[in-house]
Amino acid sequence: MRLRKIGAALLAAVMTCSLAACGGNSANSAGGNAAGSTAGGESGGSASREAASGQVDKVVFALNASSFDMSPFGAVSVPRFWMVQNVYASLFCTPYYGASLEELEPWLAKSCEKIDDLTYSVELYDYIKDSKGNDITAEDIVFSYDMMYSKGTETRIGTYLDNIEIVDDYNMIFHLKKYGPGVMEFLMGNYTLNICDKDWYESASDEEKCNDPAATGAYRIVDYVAGSSITLEAIDDYWQKDESLRCSADVQNVKTIQYTVITENSMRSIALENKEVDGAVIDASELGRFYDGANAQPGYSVDIEGGTYCNVVFLNMDSGKSPFADNENLRLAALYALDSESIMYGGDYDESTAEVCYSLGTSTMASYDDSWAEDYFNYDPEKAKEYYKASGYADGEVTIRLLSRTSIVDGIHSVMVANLEAAGFKVDLMAYDQALFNTYKSDSSQWDMILDNKGATGNIVTCWDNNFNPAGFENGSVCFTHDDTLVSLLTAATTTGSDEDVKAFHEYLKGMACAKGLFTSYNLMVGQDGILDLKVNANMMPRVNAFTFASDYQSCKK
């Protein structure tokens, strides 16, 4: 009896300690961000302080993935996209998401002149040198574009670019395969592009390419510990000496940028609270620790930027492979059954961390029309049931194979399944890892409905083009459509970008009832007190070198 009592007391003590430890942050966890804050660079906490006039010494920023390759033309990864423009320059710099060609800032290129729709002449500065002293000329530009395409760093180059003609060392002519909104913006200044010296690249060892590449950007790699950290240092004798000619990407507001890998969401927040890092990109579920719904918590700066990726469902349109393909009523039943807002909440998001989409694209994309929100398969369970009945199937007769990824929050799947079952469907959820998902998504015999994440650099027509241009698919499009009208409307929209053509494609796509944008999550970044402005690049990713610091800023790791 005595032993039981002691055992019970011990158990109670352990449980109390555990609960105390778990709940210990309640003071900081001011949740309830239902204030309806709009996405777009809300900062707080340190806004009234004076900005530093010169370069600050160091910033330690958390990276949320450990696997990346910073060699020239390295494989695609999220950390690479954050850092690539620190180390490698492109012809132009895109100052913000969706900027047009006229708004791009010259970087390696001095100018870009339109000759005709498919031809542009580009002139380089004649004094560009990389960090190892090599001259950068037109030949290096051609080499870099070829390498980016052939090594898969940027596959869209092949879609847009026919060839680059070298006029002389500093002048080139870009011959395009197609024109339209986003094409030249992509080729001149996309954040994934990187230029490096041909001779250096061909003579450097693999180790040198990864650990100490010849940098054309304003920073060079000084330390790289695989999977753990990477340290960049501002190049003292950076080739662009004239400060007035610097662009957003090559400012050197920080001497040393140390990116340190912290892959777990909650651990990044803990590292911020513990002052182990100066800044981090955080998960929506963590925002309450640093933001009260309207302002940043004392001691932090918070930046909320609009989403560039849309969570979208596609319905399989391959005839004979899915019940949706030849039954419009069934498709409408499924689309009206899905409650985008509930699905968003199911994913641990709310109005301050995400917003509902009303097209295949997000409201931050150029050419997006706010009026689309009025009628876009808006959730209507009764309508969904009616369409289901009209489809000719009995309740529970249709089983949807819903293809998704294991990385998606379970709550999203739960709400989707509940929505569809309420309309009369049965759902077979098939959540796979990214590799299997990628394999199965191009196979029309594997799924009826797919939940995917689709984005674009700047313009919504690019997003549509990426998903419905038959040139990019073996089987018609992302959801196996084979519709000539859709393709001709897409061609018109991507070529002219005019409001009429954009609207015509949107309406036609909606009429086909084969896709529905659900929601987009915002990009959330937190900095310590002392970082006054958290800048982002053209894809809403941190641009640490361009942060604005307070005059008394001190890095957490001196």
- What residues line the site for other proteins (CB under 8 A)? 3, 6-7, 10, 14, 18, 21-22, 24-25, 66-69, 71, 74-77, 150, 152, 155-156, 158-159, 206-207, 209-210, 225-229, 260-264, 266-267, 270-271, 273-274, 276, 433-436, 438-440, 442, 454, 466, 471-474
- DSSP, collapsed to helix, strand or coil, labels residue 26 as coil
Q: How far is Cα 122 from Cα 177, in angstroms, rounded to an integer?
A: 17
What the block records as the tokens of 253 is 């507001």
Nearest CB to other proteins, comparing residues 4 and 241: 4
Q: How far is the CB of 273 from other proteins (least distance, A)?
A: 6
Calpha distance 237→235 (Å, rounded): 6
Which candidate, 455, 358, 440, places its Cα nearest to that of 401?
A: 440
Residue 452, class by beta-carbon neighbours within 10 Å (0-12 exposed, 13-18 middle, 19+ buried)? buried
CB of residue 263 vs other proteins: minimum separation in angstroms?
Answer: 6
In angstroms, what is the minimal distance from the CB of 484 to other proteins?
A: 20
Residue pair 302/532 in contact (Cβ under 8 Å)? The answer is no
**Which amino acid, 299?**
G
The DSSP result for 317-341, as a single string, is --TTT-TTTT-HHHHHHHHHH--HH
Q: Residue 254 in contact with residue 55, Cβ under 8 Å?
A: yes
| Dist. CA 25–CA 267, nearest whole Å | 14
In whole angstroms, what is the distance from residue 436 CA to residue 132 CA? 42
Contact (CB, 8 A) for 220 and 232: yes
Helix (H) / strand (E) element for 176: namely strand 171-176
Q: Which residue's structure tokens are 């450097």?
A: 204
Which tokens belong to 396?
């529970």
In whole angstroms, give the CA distance from residue 138 to residue 173: 10
Distances in Å between the Cα of 369 and the Cα atoms of 183, 316, 359, 521 are: 21, 26, 9, 18
Q: At 309, phi and psi to the nearest 5?
A: -125, 140
| CA distance linking residue 194 with residue 171, whole number of Å | 18
Smallest CA-to-CA distance from 451 within 329, 315, 350 is with 315
Q: Are 224 and 210 in contact (CB under 8 A)?
A: yes
The CB-of-348 to other proteins minimum distance in angstroms stands at 18
- Select 312 or 546, whichever has its Cβ closest to other proteins: 312
**Min separation Cβ 229 and other proteins, Å:** 7
CB of 150 to other proteins, least distance (A): 8
Q: Which two tokens stand for residue 163?
A: 């060839």
Specify the DSSP element, H or E, that contains 158. Answer: helix 156-160
Three-class SS of residue 312?
A: strand
| Nearer Cβ to other proteins (268/543) | 268
DSSP line for 100-112: -GGGPEESSEEEE
Residues 6+ apart with CB under 8 A from 113: 120, 121, 122
* Pairing relationship of beta strands 399-405 and 449-455 according to DSSP bridges: parallel
Q: In the bound complex, what is the minimum distance in angstroms from residue 181's beta carbon to other proteins?
A: 16
Minimal distance in Å, beta carbon 155 to other proteins? 4
Least distance (Å) from other proteins to the CB of residue 222? 15
482, HSE (Cβ side, Cα atoms, 13 Å): 7
User: Nearest approach, Cβ of 72 to other proteins (angstroms)?
Assistant: 10
Token pair 């001691």 is at which residue?
299
Query: Hey, how many other C-beta atoms are within 10 angstroms of the C-beta on 484?
Result: 8
Report how far residue 252's alpha carbon sits from residue 544's, in angstroms, rounded to the nearest whole number: 9
